[in-house]
Structure 1
């Protein structure tokens, strides 16, 4: 189906004359407190783009402190104020994470209206009015950012880099976009209903919105305890697929490599000797796929602030590779389109609590197109054709949900 520029798109014109998307009338940010969602009201917003300069991690922490959310010591006990500021939605792109890691940010963002960091502070108030019923929704044909042959070629390039000893593993991600007509927000909200979408939800701004169906915890902090749950290893969700995943030496080696990287990331911000692997290579389901997940935890160091936490964990090791900085250099050289909303962080922050999902299985919209991304970790034992097929399998449920199927 072809969808061109259409007057049927539900657009609004902001006070500055800029075309925007319809407004959200309820808060659906991933990991927002369930008991508060129906009473949350936006109080303040901060968006960062590279042209703004400065350190985005410091900027986010300073903005939150100025609006009643001091996050300079996350290990300090905190209480929830039902009459005051509740918390904030936080989004950090993969490109911003690369900058925090001192690595190149990669190709340009294909969603130019999308900021690289967004912070939205919420307080409690009267429940918002229900949204009017959405009109017709039409999604056009997907246009891939690279062909299967180019994707396979990138896999081979990573294998060559591994052979030279430059890296041990690199996550390679592709992108696709489709034109749309209608209100995109209900389509993005459908992603949160996919099975296993631990970080299902939507965050929107002027001319952009992000919908997430991620099952992966980038970092969670409650009661002074840090947790990350890296996912590596994928097979079809069949009995044979589970047996194959559990028996795969290649998948297990790739997974353990990333678990070790995540242990090192947490060790930078944890009390000495407190990092441990609580669960290794547990097979869990997301839609019609089995995935291998581990749980790594640690005790937060005294005085750990949000900015240092973001610098330690962004971008996530499971979507970069190892060593992280060398993997990011390979990603910047190989991927023809920026990662946009994908492979970053999205979730909720408040005093004493952080819960950020890694934005895999994520889509973004601007005023013209829907964007999706998918990829996988490449090791010396990777088969290029299998890697292309795996990326397609990860993307398929997201595309189907966006299309209303």
Structure 2
């Protein structure tokens, strides 16, 4: 284990560009990134990481590498050191047989990371005894790689197909099949330029709380998510589902006053409590923040937080079996909602509504909900999923507008 203080440096997006340029010069794999609010830090960058498709059961698994959390000297946040970074796609396939653009799961292991703490100080952390390469520290202190041009031509989803799905959901609610479900659709596009430069520009422009980037020969995932799906630090579990959205120009007090949004959020909180309760110490599941209103790129969101203590012996695989896919992008009751959604949605969600994140043997695991997430295949095709929760009070036209509002922060880039 080795930790070096590097000091002040560039913005995470600029450092990421510098690391990408270095990887190209050296012919090494591209960097990966977590930017926003991850592991108590502002950014966690893997300077170079070979990623590849993996079996879904292997995603975020550490097996014998899992240990007790360590502490950074002078800091009560755990050292990250290294770990597995990648994604796990939404698991359900539409009954029509549509396939996803990217592998079901992909990622890779890194022995070292560059971390920017809450005070803006950069650190080199490694699970090995190797010192920080000079080129990596230079990428932090003097990131000179310029932004590179990129362009995405988007094609809007089929509005009538989305409306049909919403109407089917409303009928299922009236019939008592579900109380709520998240009906989704997709923008598709063609990209020019490198996905990493799209991500760097998007993060700098929108400052999402749970942004993540992973790239490989299989394609790339650029997630601008505002939502925490699951964190585990020691035995402490936490999930912060988002339900309820307004455009950023609107009065945020309208969210707390909305019967529809409040009801939807509370239903999903109960669903998260049930999910975590399956692997938690009895009596430990609590709601630590209910119906908070917080800004995200282009919108206001209604956010709640559920915490729990994991039962002894609980593994990451156990957590994912209990809680994945995230409650906020499925419905209530969860199992029936997932069954019905596979009939209502013609497209495979792919990475969208899955999870992107990092599993460290020292610091634990943090995963976002892969919303506001652009998928790039190796041929330059892109997918952006959007959706919203449907309740008995939902209006199909308003639900379509919510999809557009959620996509607007990405559509307006470039």
TM (norm. structure 1) is 0.79
Paired position in structure 2 for 1:228: 239
Which of the pair has the greater relative contact order for Cα pairs under 8 Å at 6+ separation? 1
Deviation string, structure 1 residues 40-88 (Cα, Å, up to 9, x no partner): 443x645236xxxxxx32x3466x337xx337xxxx4456899996111
- Residue 203 (1) aligns with residue 208 (2): no
Cα-Cα RMSD: 2.9
Structure 2 unaligned blocks of 5 or more: 1-26, 113-131
Q: Secondary structure at the match of 2:82?
A: strand
Distance 1:353 1:254 in 2: 30
Q: Secondary structure at the match of 1:360?
A: coil
Residue number among 341, 356, 361 corresponding to 1:331 in the alignment: 341
Distance 2:358 2:208 in 1: 15
Q: Secondary structure at the match of 2:32?
A: coil
Deviation string, structure 1 residues 117-160 (Cα, Å, up to 9, x no partner): 123110135355779656543322x2234x22221111010011
- Residue 374 (1) aligns with residue 379 (2): no
CA shift, 1:25, in A, is 4.0
- Residue 316 (1) aligns with residue 304 (2): no
- Residue 344 (1) aligns with residue 354 (2): yes
Measured at CA, do residues 104 and 131 of structure 1 come closer, stay the same or move farther in structure 2, by a change above 3 Å?
A: farther
Distance 1:35 1:248 in 2: 33
- Residue 181 (1) aligns with residue 182 (2): no
CA shift, 1:251, in A, is 0.9
Distance 1:267 1:184 in 2: 38
- Residue 289 (1) aligns with residue 303 (2): no
Question: Which piece of structure 1 moves more, 358-367 or 81-90?
Answer: 81-90
Paired position in structure 2 for 1:13: none
Distance 1:32 1:364 in 2: 24
Distance 1:94 1:378 in 2: 19
Contact 2:149–2:197 at 8 Å: present in 1 too? no
- Residue 386 (1) aligns with residue 398 (2): yes
Q: Secondary structure at the match of 1:203?
A: strand
Residue number among 115, 127, 144 corresponding to 2:103 in the alignment: 115
Distance 2:384 2:301 in 1: 20
Measured at CA, do residues 227 and 105 of structure 1 come closer, stay the same or move farther in structure 2, by a change above 3 Å?
A: farther
- Residue 359 (1) aligns with residue 335 (2): no
- 1:99-138 superposed matches below 5 A: 108-111=98-101, 114-124=102-112, 126=133, 127=135, 133=146, 135-138=148-151
TM (norm. structure 2) is 0.78
Contact 1:236–1:290 at 8 Å: present in 2 too? yes
Paired position in structure 1 for 2:259: 249
Distance 1:354 1:105 in 2: 33
Distance 1:316 1:275 in 2: 17
Measured at CA, do residues 36 and 255 of structure 1 come closer, stay the same or move farther in structure 2, by a change above 3 Å?
A: closer
Residue number among 57, 65, 71 corresponding to 2:63 in the alignment: 65
Paired position in structure 1 for 2:33: 28
CA shift, 1:191, in A, is 2.9
Distance 1:274 1:134 in 2: 47
Distance 2:271 2:42 in 1: 35
Structure 1 unaligned blocks of 5 or more: 1-21, 50-55
- Residue 162 (1) aligns with residue 158 (2): no
Contact 1:106–1:338 at 8 Å: present in 2 too? no
CA shift, 1:212, in A, is 1.1
Distance 2:252 2:148 in 1: 41
Paired position in structure 2 for 1:48: 54
Contact 1:84–1:123 at 8 Å: present in 2 too? no
Paired position in structure 2 for 1:306: 316
